[in-house]
Amino acid sequence: MTATMQPESEAAEAPRRGGHTPGAGQKTRPRGQGLQFGHWWWALPGIALVFAIHYVATGIGGFFAFTNWTGIGSFKITGWANFEAIFKDPTKVGALSNTLFLAFGSVLLGNIAGLVIALGLNRVLKTRYILRTLFFMPVVLSPLATAYIWKYIFDFDGPLNAFLTAVGGADQAKPWLADPQWAIWTVLVVLVWSSTGFAMVIFMAGLAGVPAEVEEAAAIDGANLWQRFRNVTLPAIRPAVAIATTLGIVQGLRVFDPIMALTGGGPAGATETLATQVYKQAFALGNFGGGAALALVLAAIILIFAVIQQRLTRSNPED
Amino acid sequence: MFRYTKLTLLREIGLWALALLFLAPFYFLVTTALKPDNELFTTSALAPPKSPDFSNFVDVLTATGNSNVVMGLVNSLIITAGSIVGLIALGSITGYVISRSTRRWSKGAYYLFLIAIILPGQLGAVPLYMGARSLGLTGSAWGLIVLYTGMLLPLSIFLYANFFRGLGTDYEEAATIDGASKSQIFSKVVFPMMAPATGTVTIFAGLIVWNDFFTSLIFLGGSDNQTLPVAMYYYIGSLVSQWNSIFAIVIVSMIPILALFLFAQKRFIQGFSGGLKG
């Protein structure tokens, strides 16, 4: 896209490229004088669009959280009634705990799997780039398509039960997605499957930054594999861990598409999450006020965990 | 000391075994899609088809109405490309200004965008729908391009702003001395330099818009002008346990993005790992 402009700018940059002239760069930037390059009003269209689509719409939605609006017609302001209703309704409390279980479960398992694969692929493997591509493949698929594939795998007539029967575990075969106890685990499997490749890529980039000499030195000093990982590798990839887990939790708390395609929240609400409940309340059941209140709770939870996560795993606090 | 030893070979074989297990769902996807109707319930779910049959794919590609897949493919392409252009244009210039400005408002604007990234979309969905409907943005590709641009703009601005923070102002200063105007500096000097950030934005936004289901389901609701995931959803909605037909459309919907990924996998993976380090 930018290729056509490249030669021209290359020529302009050439004399200064690669050198850090003393006094150049950020330090000479005059403080407090506003913009030296560009005009401030260049940012206006972007700010206006984000403000309208994110803040105004969310603000209006947030306002309706305190009303009994159905989505059309008139409404009354009901104060905290919608929020009280949430914590009295077992389905919604269940959705809250399912959401937390899925978010933390998928982040934990996806990151462990991603880390193990990244460590396995680190250094000297001949086919590491092919393997990396293969493990990353599920990440680019749409959650909807992924969910349909797994829906078949967990189907009663599907491959999982066929496999169990073939290896003599026929009594273990069950309708996985319709089993109240197992359904949530099937959702977890799907989430882990589609997020492992993402964590792996982040960890591989982090591991690539660990100099081989440092690891060698540790090995010569007699550190075993675990000690080397614990004391050399892990500190070096901390920023990568922070990013992979923060994004994973934010994504996990919002999980919607895979559940709608896999179980629709069932059986009997066993896989209901906050996001699916918001959708059902607001769009299907005509309880927009209640749905908005639930969405506000979800937003608060996401915000809290994002902040905690940032604090916990931040590598250098002065950043 | 990191030489290729017998242990490395063992590790390589182990990882290949893991990869094959990991990608087993693709095996079921392809074998089932190729099964003719009469084999679907008579053969084991684990077995490949006895007489592979492409009629499921023909059915998928000739479907009409709101499950018209070819139409969905074209719409998805237009909407994804349009959103990417919007996100690059607005994201780069906004990210540039807020990261170069030293005034206090630019920091405020930065946090405005950061918080917008994690706000859950459902809260604003109904007000947004009503707003879009009164502006005539529902049911058309243009409307969705505007919506997606607005929805993903915080992410785009965030990626660009982080990129600029790590970049000195040397080139801009040099261009100023050479007599370039502010807009010339941006379009001829700065924009080409941010190619890596542009690549990351393209990949992220492209993937999210291409795969998105919820937004296009709501905002294109009812019209025959559907995106690929919605066309897939409607197509599958009319099938019950017809897994061969379901998987045919799943494969058709996957091919464009998988082909692009395998073709440019290095850029994809760099985009993911590089764009998020900042």
For B28-50, what is the mean pLDDT?
83
pLDDT of residue B210: 92
Does some domain include residue A131? yes
Range in A258-267, B106-115, B136-145, B198-207 with the lowest mean pLDDT: B106-115
B42 touches chain A (CB under 8 A): no
Does some domain include residue B128? yes
Please give the Cα distance from B220 to B200 (Å, whole number).
Answer: 28
Q: Is the pLDDT of residue B78 over 90?
A: yes
3-state secondary structure labels for all residues of A174-190: CCHHHCCCCHHHHHHHH
Q: Is the pLDDT of residue A3 over 80?
A: no
Closest CA in chain B for residue A5: B192
Does some domain include residue A44? no
Q: Which of A24, A47, A65 sits opposite B170 (nearest CB)?
A: A24
Does some domain include residue B10? no
User: Up-side HSE of residue B90: CA atoms within 13 Å toward CB?
Assistant: 25
Residue B51, exposed/middle/buried by CB under 10 A (0-12, 13-18, 19+)?
A: exposed
Q: Which of A20, A40, A257 sits opposite B101 (nearest CB)?
A: A40
Q: Which residues pair with A67 in a beta bridge?
A: A77
Does some domain include residue A241? yes
Listed ranges B43-57, B83-97, B108-122; the one with the highest mean pLDDT = B83-97
Residue A295, classed as helix, strand or coil, is helix
Q: Is the pLDDT of residue B149 over 90?
A: yes
Full domain range(s) for residue B269: 67-243+254-275
Does some domain include residue A77? no
Does some domain include residue A265? yes
Where does the pLDDT of residue A146 fall: very low under 50, low under 70, confident under 90, or very high at 90 and above? very high
CB contact (8 A) between residue B45 and residue A198: no
**Residue A36: count of CB within 10 angstroms of its CB:** 16
> Dihedral, CA atoms, A191, A194, A200, A203, nearest 10 degrees?
-50
Nearest-CA distance from B219 to chain A in Å?
A: 13
Which spans in chain B are helix H? 6-22, 24-33, 37-40, 55-61, 69-100, 104-118, 122-134, 141-165, 170-177, 182-184, 191-193, 195-211, 214-219, 228-237, 243-263, 265-275
Nearest-CA distance from A165 to chain B in Å?
A: 11
B210 vs A226: which has the higher pLDDT: B210
Domain CATH number, residue B87:
1.10.3720.10
Does some domain include residue B207? yes
User: Up-side HSE of residue A291: CA atoms within 13 Å toward CB?
Assistant: 28
For B117-136, what is the mean pLDDT?
79
Q: Is the pLDDT of residue B267 over 70?
A: yes
Q: Is the pLDDT of residue A108 over 90?
A: yes
Does some domain include residue B32? no
Full domain range(s) for residue A293: 91-313
Does some domain include residue B71? yes
**Mean pLDDT, all residues of chain B:** 84
**Mean pLDDT, all residues of chain A:** 80
For B242-265, what is the mean pLDDT?
87
Closest CA in chain A for residue B7: A125
Number of domains making up chain A: 1
CB contact (8 A) between residue B246 and residue A152: yes
For B59-84, what is the mean pLDDT?
85
Range in A67-76, A90-99, A170-179, A257-266 with the lowest mean pLDDT: A67-76
Does some domain include residue A41? no
Does some domain include residue A96? yes
Number of domains making up chain B: 1
For A240-260, what is the mean pLDDT?
82
A24 vs B190: which has the higher pLDDT: B190
Does some domain include residue B83? yes
Q: Is the pLDDT of residue A264 over 80?
A: yes
A80 vs A21: which has the higher pLDDT: A80
pLDDT of residue A237: 78
Does some domain include residue A22? no
pLDDT of residue A22: 41
For A171-184, what is the mean pLDDT?
88
A30: left (phi over 0), alpha (psi -120 to 50) or beta: beta
Please give the Cα distance from B93 to A278 (Å, whole number).
Answer: 35
